[in-house]
A and B are shown apart, each in its own frame.
Chain A
Amino acid sequence: MRPDTARKVRIGVLAAVTLLVLYVGGRLTYAAGGLAEDACRNPAPVLPGWALVFISLAFFGAGRLATGLRTDNDAPHIPPLARAGTGGRLAAHAALATVFLLGVGALAYETVGVWPNPWKLQPITNYVRCATAADPLTTSLVAAVISFFVGHWLWFPARRRG
């Protein structure tokens, strides 16, 4: 396939994925609004916790294996960050700082949620466990997708020698 065509195909796939994520997210957002207040008082999980962990770990491993299928950014050709240009380093570190800032925000929210608070906010953990009980299929799908990305990005093969 010609490089220009391959690039257009990749952009098309990314656009399709974006639309799919928006569709699924929209449906789940709408469904969450319909949950009754006592939906999570005594949740009876259909899928046991160990099964969800097993699914997540399986997709974590699949994400690692999928690194070998990529040809556009084959491992040995990716330069270490330390040797990237100043602009590239700045962009990577800015993105990383943003991710950590979002993590700090989520932990701050969790702290407020754990304490008795006037806004009746609950810990994010409660929401995740409630979602597990209310819709185990979608929850396991989301957990699998996130686990896949973590395995794909962070469990990366070591640099080949020689």
Chain B
Amino acid sequence: MVGQGIRWVVIALTMGFCLAAITDMVLEARGMRSISARIEAWSRTYPFYAGAMVLVFGALLGHFFLHPY
């Protein structure tokens, strides 16, 4: 069961990375702005939301790795 759970986490991460890379390939081929440029434009337009997402990311890091076993 544990192995299956980790397997799904790995599959979700792999699919997420692949989807992002394939989308970037399509955008590049069509001469459009990349995903990075779009996200950076969003984070510049909404810096507080971007900061909030960074805080959530930091909380997840601590939750995953600093919690005692």
Contact = CB atoms under 8 A, between A and B. Distances in A.
A160 B25 CA distance: 29
B14 A22 contact: yes
Which of B9, B13, B54, B64 has the most C-beta atoms of chain A within 10 angstroms of its own C-beta?
B64
A68 interface: no
B40 A43 contact: no
Interface in B23-69: 24-25, 28-29, 31, 33-34, 36-46, 50-51, 53-54, 57, 61-67, 69
Interface residues of B, number: 48
A133 to B, nearest CB: 8
Interface of B: 1-7, 9-11, 13-15, 17-18, 21-22, 24-25, 28-29, 31, 33-34, 36-46, 50-51, 53-54, 57, 61-67, 69
Interface of A: 7, 10-11, 14-15, 17-18, 21-22, 24-26, 28-29, 32-37, 39-40, 42-43, 45, 49-50, 52-53, 56-57, 67, 70, 72-73, 75, 78-82, 84, 88, 91-92, 95-96, 120-122, 124-134, 142-143, 147, 150, 152-156, 158-159
Given A28-B14, A133-B69, A134-B6, 5 more contacts: A17-B21, A42-B69, A78-B40, A129-B64, A154-B51
